[in-house]
Chain A
Amino acid sequence: MPQLPLDVFSRGSSEPQPLAVSHSGRRSSVLLCNPAAHARGIQPGISVAAARALAHDLIIQPRDLNAERAALHALAAWSYQFSSQVSLYPPDALLLEVQGSFTLFGGWPALLDKVRCGLAGLGYLTRLAGAPTPLAALSLARCNSEQHIEAHQQLAAALSPLPVSVLDWEQVLIDRLDGMGVRQLGDLLRLPRDGLARRFGQQSLLYLDRMLGRCPHPQELYQPPQTFRRRLQLPAEVGQAQALLFALQRLLLELCGWLGGQGAGVQRVDVCLQHREQRVTRVSLETRKPGRDSEQLTSLFRERLERLELPLPVIEVELCADEVLALDADSPDLFGSSGKPERLNLLDHLRARLGDGAVTGISAVAEHRPEYAWRYTDPGDSRTDNNGRQRPLWLLSVARPLKTRNGRPQLHGELQLETGRERIESGWWDGKDVARDYYIATNPAGSSYWVYRELTGEQGWYLQGVFE
């Protein structure tokens, strides 16, 4: 990742604002800058003061080695979906053993495509190279030579044009090579082995042997963490909640890649928006089923953020998923991004925007009093008690008093009562007792209603429901 120091900042925003990363040393100069800064004439190497003079709105971030380290670890966790053998090569490289993954992903070009697109989605510029040995692949990638060398025999020829500076050797050794006129790996590989061992040590010889595959190169394998917790520092303060979606999407893609490697899903995602002065805003999302579809999660968070009022601008976004669940074998997104994305779960979608209480199911309740013979439930969680009586499809939430004329109930004209009175007397035990005579009634226009007359007190008429 040739731009990792820059990418850790620039990936948080879609704004093409000029951005530069400065050396953390005492003489402050520009280490890397984005295209917007480049367009203003800012180059790596110029002083920070000069850069500021060229672009007043330039954002300068001092290099953050901790953020780079965290990013490398996060990318290793993300890469785990493509290979279970991932190694860290700090400060800016990752090594994946992918031979075993070719069958699953459809060969080198298809795999390369997936990895490259995935990493671009996360906001990282990458150079990808493949070779039979770890050191050869790393050397090619570091030299921006995006080759795929398949056979050991081709290694020497492919590596020969690379500069010796690509080696992970101490600077004195590189300088010594330079003094000898050895500029390219090809020159180095032509030197006699015994002389090389004498002047540069056995370690150097071993390095070259490993690079060319003459001896094995055991790797220290990366173990992904068990929970997900990632921060993303925003290049500039963000005051609009919706503008956070871009950064959040990056983190959700990381999360889903990591889940892919774990063969797992999440049901709850917590987002912590960091403001200045240690203040935070928390946003959580829960779904009905565990999943790892980043598009769905992004879509759900979009709804949430549309409704969110930020008390203060946000400087950092943190995403956590502490509880990881095994995905059902029949989960449609088992196929990951390779297939058609699963249709968005409607319930999650509605709840994200309207709130949890706005989506319910409905259940019948074994109860004589009509207003208690039903209740809202969780969707899908219903009972179907039925007393066999005729009931209207609409129930009024509160029974409405009816006007009467000459003692006869009126609703858009005089109501005609059907035969078949139903007396309901119940509820003496809970103080909400009722004593009513229910009738089906029809008005002159032909509308049918469910009405009752109180048997006590004023003996008033009420509208309870509509036979729609």
Chain B
Amino acid sequence: MSLDHLLQRADVWRGGRLTAAASAVPSGYSELDTLLPGGGWPQGALTEILMPRQGIGALRLLMPALAQLSHDDRWICWVAPPHIPYAPALVSAGVDLSRVLLVHPGARQDGLWAVEQSLRSGNCSAVLAWPTLDDAGVMRRLQLAAEAGDALGFLFRAERFAKRPSPAALRIQLDTHTDGNLSVSILKRRGGWAAGPVHLDTSLQYGALALHSRATTAAGCFQPRQQ
């Protein structure tokens, strides 16, 4: 029997070939997972995260899933992040830093190219990007690349893009709820109508230290007590 024939047999498993992957990765927030098809972030697809401003916890929302994915042997690729992903915080969130890949492209075109390559390569479990461009053709390419590479593509975008059509499999809109929790509305999901919002306490994901330990004397609390 020749090597070629041998390789064509169905019962021969070959290293380097991807096994069929689960269709979703749990977000780590059960209230959210119940609303998401497959019970989590869609695998091999784009997820668009629309946010009104920074600092409301868009990254924290992903941390349980990224921590989980960092035990995979594939990269978690951050393409042109707006700030430095802070290593101590990632460690606190349970992310294995040795799986974190940062790409610093020079030009915007290179950035989109890097996002597409990373999604398509099959070397990445997740790809995070902050595209400012509004181009349906580009988004379509990225969605196809995510399918080809079986990657979770997270695109963080400004809220104003919510009205634009998008080929992303999942679109969620974030806001801050009055109680300080993160409000997540689902604008688009596979096999379902828009849903939400759900209110998530993302601070709990850090365990020991709660983020919203706001002082009760809110009004004049900027003057710190001397310790």
Chain A residues proximal to chain B, CB less than 8 Å: 103-107, 110, 330, 332, 335, 338-340, 342-347, 349-350, 353-354, 357-365, 373-376, 379-397, 408-409, 412, 414-421, 423, 437, 439-440, 442-443, 445-449, 465-468
25 CB contacts below 8 A, A to B, read A106-B5, A332-B16, A335-B7, A338-B4, A346-B77, A346-B121, A350-B103, A357-B104, A358-B106, A360-B102, A364-B97, A382-B87, A382-B97, A390-B206, A390-B211, A393-B93, A416-B214, A419-B213, A437-B224, A447-B56, A448-B55, A448-B211, A465-B86, A466-B54, A468-B59
For the complex, is B41 an interface residue (Cβ under 8 Å from A)?
A: no
For the complex, is B96 an interface residue (Cβ under 8 Å from A)?
A: yes
Chain B nearest Cβ from A302, distance in angstroms: 12
**Contact A343 to B180, CB < 8 A, known contacts A106-B5, A350-B114, A394-B85:** no
The chain A residue with its CB closest to the CB of B16 is A332
For the complex, is B101 an interface residue (Cβ under 8 Å from A)?
A: yes
Residues in A neighbouring B206, C-beta threshold 8 A:
390
The answer on a CB contact under 8 Å between B85 and A393 is yes
Q: How large is the interface on B (under 10, 10 to 19, 20 to 34, 35 or more residues)?
A: 35 or more
| Apart from the given pairs A345-B123, A361-B102, A396-B83, 20 other A-B contacts in the complex at a CB distance below 8 Å | A104-B2, A105-B2, A106-B2, A330-B15, A343-B122, A347-B123, A350-B114, A354-B106, A361-B100, A363-B97, A365-B87, A384-B97, A393-B60, A393-B89, A394-B54, A394-B81, A416-B214, A447-B56, A465-B86, A467-B55
**Contact A104 to B54, CB < 8 A, known contacts A354-B103, A416-B218, A419-B215:** no
Residue of B91, B106, B214 most packed against chain A (CB within 10 A)? B91
For the complex, is B82 an interface residue (Cβ under 8 Å from A)?
A: yes
Chain B nearest Cβ from A415, distance in angstroms: 7
Residues in A neighbouring B58, C-beta threshold 8 A:
468
The answer on a CB contact under 8 Å between A394 and B82 is yes
Instruction: Give Cα distance in the complex from A373 to B222, angstroms.
Output: 26
Question: Looking at the complex, which one of A110, A339, A465 makes contact with B2 (CB distance below 8 Å)?
Answer: A110
Instruction: Give Cα distance in the complex from A304 to B129, angstroms.
Output: 24
Question: Looking at the complex, which one of A379, A383, A397, A421 makes contact with B84 (CB distance below 8 Å)?
Answer: A397
Instruction: Give Cα distance in the complex from A362 to B113, angstroms.
Output: 22
Instruction: Give Cα distance in the complex from A412 to B54, angstroms.
Output: 11
Chain B nearest Cβ from A403, distance in angstroms: 14
**Contact A445 to B176, CB < 8 A, known contacts A106-B3, A393-B85, A418-B215:** yes
The answer on a CB contact under 8 Å between A396 and B57 is no
Instruction: Give Cα distance in the complex from A449 to B222, angstroms.
Output: 14
Residues in B neighbouring A344, C-beta threshold 8 A:
121
Instruction: Give Cα distance in the complex from A435 to B165, angstroms.
Output: 50
Chain A nearest Cβ from B63, distance in angstroms: 8
The answer on a CB contact under 8 Å between B56 and A446 is yes
The answer on a CB contact under 8 Å between A421 and B227 is yes
Residues in B neighbouring A335, C-beta threshold 8 A:
3, 7, 14
Instruction: Give Cα distance in the complex from A408 to B220, angstroms.
Output: 10
The answer on a CB contact under 8 Å between A394 and B83 is yes
Residues in B neighbouring A110, C-beta threshold 8 A:
2, 4
The answer on a CB contact under 8 Å between B221 and A376 is no
Chain B nearest Cβ from A107, distance in angstroms: 7
The answer on a CB contact under 8 Å between B118 and A391 is no
Question: Looking at the complex, which one of B3, B54, B105, B209 makes contact with A354 (CB distance below 8 Å)?
Answer: B105
Chain A nearest Cβ from B70, distance in angstroms: 11
Instruction: Give Cα distance in the complex from A350 to B88, angstroms.
Output: 26
Question: Looking at the complex, which one of A343, A358, A364, A379 makes contact with B88 (CB distance below 8 Å)?
Answer: A364
For the complex, is B163 an interface residue (Cβ under 8 Å from A)?
A: no
Residues in A neighbouring B82, C-beta threshold 8 A:
394
Residues in B neighbouring A349, C-beta threshold 8 A:
117, 121
Question: Looking at the complex, which one of A375, A386, A395 makes contact with B91 (CB distance below 8 Å)?
Answer: A386
Residue of A381, A414, A439, A466 most packed against chain B (CB within 10 A)? A466
Instruction: Give Cα distance in the complex from A447 to B211, angstroms.
Output: 12
For the complex, is B208 an interface residue (Cβ under 8 Å from A)?
A: yes
Residues in B neighbouring A393, C-beta threshold 8 A:
59-60, 63, 85-86, 89-90, 93
Residues in B neighbouring A339, C-beta threshold 8 A:
7, 14
Residues in B neighbouring A437, C-beta threshold 8 A:
224
For the complex, is B124 an interface residue (Cβ under 8 Å from A)?
A: yes
Residues in A neighbouring B77, C-beta threshold 8 A:
346
Residues in A neighbouring B14, C-beta threshold 8 A:
332, 335, 339-340
**Contact A332 to B15, CB < 8 A, known contacts A374-B87, A417-B222:** yes
The answer on a CB contact under 8 Å between B214 and A448 is no
Query: Which residues 50-83 in B have Cβ within 8 Å of A in the complex?
Result: 52-60, 63, 75, 77, 81-83
Instruction: Give Cα distance in the complex from A443 to B221, angstroms.
Output: 13
The answer on a CB contact under 8 Å between A416 and B221 is yes
Residues in A neighbouring B104, C-beta threshold 8 A:
354, 357-360
Which 3 A-B residue pairs are closest in the complex by CB-CB distance?
A447-B55, A446-B176, A332-B16
The answer on a CB contact under 8 Å between B98 and A468 is no
Query: Which residues 180-223 in B have Cβ within 8 Å of A in the complex?
Result: 180, 206, 208-209, 211, 213-215, 218, 221-222
Chain A nearest Cβ from B200, distance in angstroms: 14
The chain A residue with its CB closest to the CB of B99 is A380
Chain B nearest Cβ from A391, distance in angstroms: 4
Residues in A neighbouring B106, C-beta threshold 8 A:
354, 358
Chain B nearest Cβ from A216, distance in angstroms: 28
The chain A residue with its CB closest to the CB of B118 is A346
Instruction: Give Cα distance in the complex from A24 to B200, angstroms.
Output: 83
For the complex, is B134 an interface residue (Cβ under 8 Å from A)?
A: no
Instruction: Give Cα distance in the complex from A284 to B98, angstroms.
Output: 27
For the complex, is B135 an interface residue (Cβ under 8 Å from A)?
A: no
Instruction: Give Cα distance in the complex from A106 to B3, angstroms.
Output: 7
Chain B nearest Cβ from A329, distance in angstroms: 10
**Contact A468 to B101, CB < 8 A, known contacts A343-B121, A394-B84, A408-B222:** no
Instruction: Give Cα distance in the complex from A447 to B54, angstroms.
Output: 6
Instruction: Give Cα distance in the complex from A408 to B219, angstroms.
Output: 12
The answer on a CB contact under 8 Å between A364 and B105 is no
Chain A nearest Cβ from B81, distance in angstroms: 8
Chain B nearest Cβ from A407, distance in angstroms: 8
The chain A residue with its CB closest to the CB of B149 is A343
Chain A nearest Cβ from B11, distance in angstroms: 16
The answer on a CB contact under 8 Å between B86 and A392 is yes
